[in-house]
Amino acid sequence: MTERFSHPSGLAVKRSTIRFWYLTHRWTSIISTLFLLMLCVTGLPLIFHDEIDAAFGEDWESRLAGNPSASVGQPLDSIVARALAERPGEVPLFIGFSQDSSLITVTTGPSPDAPGSAMTLLNFDRLTGRSLGPVEGGGVMETILALHVDMLLGLPGMLFLGVMGILFLIALISGVVLYAPFMQRLRFGTLRRGRSKRVRRLDQHNLLGAATLGWALVVGATGAINAFADPLTDNWREGELAEMIAAQSSEEPLDPAAYGSLDLAMARAQEILPGRSPQFVGFPGGAWSGPRQYAIFFQGDRPLTSHLLTPALVEADTGRLVDAREMPAINKALMLSKPLHFGDYGGLPFKLLWAVLDLLTIWVLWTGLLLWLRRSPDRTERAVEEIALRSAPA
């Protein structure tokens, strides 16, 4: 190690390297910190969205627990018929299944290609066929989610937050690069007592930042991936689904009156995907299906693959199976990024720890912000000098 600094220019190079990483850490952090604080604060309730929805909403999932609508209950055709009786003149667009309860959701709209704003979501109990009324929307949790995802600004907001996520990752990496030389003369976790406020904040920043690094890297990276995922998902939808449909003779949209049995289509699809449970169905003519086909999206039968979707296309009028394909690897990775980012997959103790790590990250961001706000004029040079001296041999 000593040889590294024996050449007179050795230490100078070292200082310029430290300065580079110091400024990288400072600027990537300054630009992203306020947005990251917003993301940490809005992300906190989202970890517990299941529990919060259950406490404040009509908790059908637990009231109808058992008999999963993905596998048992009334025929799908009769549920669709009941939904259309409630919305005369409309057509079915989607069906959403539950893996834990007999709750089933039917989406209807004025036409097969109706936009989201014109859609109506209706809840049913698939076991009894009973209508449970429209899905309540626009609650506080939805606003929090929208803030977290795109700051209510749509795609530009989402991409902007994705860039903030990338800056966060650079800040984490540059933080580690600075941590290594800085901590060479301090034990892990040293909080120097009886020193200035700045030293105390710096030690807390280093301890919390170093300990939560793994979690922060995963949540930061998956968050950035999620922000850029929509265009890739569209790409898959338009590419793969279009390819599956291309071999078909007719591209003419199918008249909703000619839709055949969905139960038959489901049975055909499950013949080649045995053991798979459906997650949702896209009706013909929508963005998630073909012009004349039902697209049935199955999830895997294991905990890991349950986050992945396999679509099966079935001709809606004849009930003939067209194709069923696994998603490409890139889209599989994208789908796994969602749970890994929101932390809503591992049971309550896991979620509570996730929340603690989120709060600790807020403290890292806060102490970092204060370190910058309360800096002295020649701070950069002093900091670079301090780190360089610590890593130099005694």
Partner 1 sequence: MNRPHRIARQSLMRTLLVPGVLLIVSIVGLILALTGDGTRDWIAALLLALPVAAIFRAWFAPASFQSKTIR
Q: Nearest distance from residue 383's CB to partner 1, in Å? A: 17
Give 3-state DSSP helix, strand, coil % of the chain, rounded to 5.
Answer: 60, 10, 30
Q: Does 208 interact with partner 1 (rule: CB under 8 A)?
A: yes
Per CB under 8 A, the list member of 16, 128, 143, 184 interacting with partner 1 is 184
Own/partner pairs for 43-48, CB < 8 Å, 24+ apart? 43/148, 43/342, 43/358, 44/355, 44/358, 44/359, 45/141, 45/144, 46/141, 46/144, 46/145, 46/148, 46/342, 46/344, 47/342, 47/343, 47/344, 47/351, 47/354, 47/355, 47/358, 48/344, 48/351, 48/355
Site for partner 1 in 273-312 (CB under 8 A): 303-304, 307
Q: Does 329 interact with partner 1 (rule: CB under 8 A)?
A: no
Q: Does 52 interact with partner 1 (rule: CB under 8 A)?
A: no
Segment interacting with partner 1, rule: CB under 8 A, options 25-33, 117-125, 257-265, 346-354: 346-354
Would you say 116 or 349 has its CB closer to partner 1? 349
CA distances from 279 to 62, 114, 119, 266, 347 (A): 18, 21, 19, 12, 21
Q: Does 354 interact with partner 1 (rule: CB under 8 A)?
A: yes
Per CB under 8 A, the list member of 309, 334, 360, 383 interacting with partner 1 is 360
Q: Does 173 interact with partner 1 (rule: CB under 8 A)?
A: no
Please name the amino acid found at residue 51: E
Q: Does 382 interact with partner 1 (rule: CB under 8 A)?
A: no
Q: Does 5 interact with partner 1 (rule: CB under 8 A)?
A: no
237, two tokens: 């939808």
Query: Pairing mode, if any, of strands 91-96 and 309-315?
Result: unpaired
Segment interacting with partner 1, rule: CB under 8 A, options 125-133, 210-218, 260-268, 311-319: 210-218
Per CB under 8 A, the list member of 23, 191, 267, 330 interacting with partner 1 is 191
Number of Cβ within 10 Å of residue 238's Cβ equals 11
| Length of the chain (residues) | 394
Measured CA to CA, the distance from residue 219 to residue 177 in angstroms comes to 20
Per CB under 8 A, the list member of 212, 299, 310, 361 interacting with partner 1 is 212
Would you say 130 or 382 has its CB closer to partner 1? 382
Bridge partners of residue 277, in order along the sequence: 299
78, two tokens: 């009769």
Phi then psi dihedrals of residue 188, to 5 deg: -55, 135
Measured CA to CA, the distance from residue 131 to residue 108 in angstroms comes to 14
Q: Report how many residues bind partner 1 under the rule CB under 8 A.
A: 44
Q: Does 93 interact with partner 1 (rule: CB under 8 A)?
A: no
> Measuring CA to CA, which residue among 167, 165, 221, 223 is closest to residue 46?
223
- Sheet containing strand 91-96, edge to edge, reads 131-134, 120-125, 103-109, 91-96, 277-282, 293-299, 309-315, 321-324
Would you say 8 or 194 has its CB closer to partner 1? 194
Burial class of residue 168, CB neighbours in 10 A (0-12, 13-18, 19+): buried
Q: Does 180 interact with partner 1 (rule: CB under 8 A)?
A: yes
Task: Give the three-class secondary structure for 194.
Answer: coil
Q: Nearest distance from residue 2's CB to partner 1, in Å? A: 10
Q: Does 10 interact with partner 1 (rule: CB under 8 A)?
A: no
Q: Does 30 interact with partner 1 (rule: CB under 8 A)?
A: no
Measured CA to CA, the distance from residue 343 to residue 359 in angstroms comes to 14
Would you say 104 or 357 has its CB closer to partner 1? 357
Would you say 27 or 363 has its CB closer to partner 1? 363
Q: Does 356 interact with partner 1 (rule: CB under 8 A)?
A: yes
Segment interacting with partner 1, rule: CB under 8 A, options 206-214, 246-254, 310-318, 321-329: 206-214
Per CB under 8 A, the list member of 334, 357, 365, 384 interacting with partner 1 is 357
Segment interacting with partner 1, rule: CB under 8 A, options 37-45, 85-93, 203-211, 228-236: 203-211
Would you say 114 or 172 has its CB closer to partner 1? 172
Q: Does 89 interact with partner 1 (rule: CB under 8 A)?
A: no
Chain positions contacting partner 1, by CB under 8 A: 1, 176, 179-180, 183-193, 207-208, 210-215, 217-218, 303-304, 307, 336, 339-340, 345-347, 349-350, 353-354, 356-357, 360, 391, 393-394
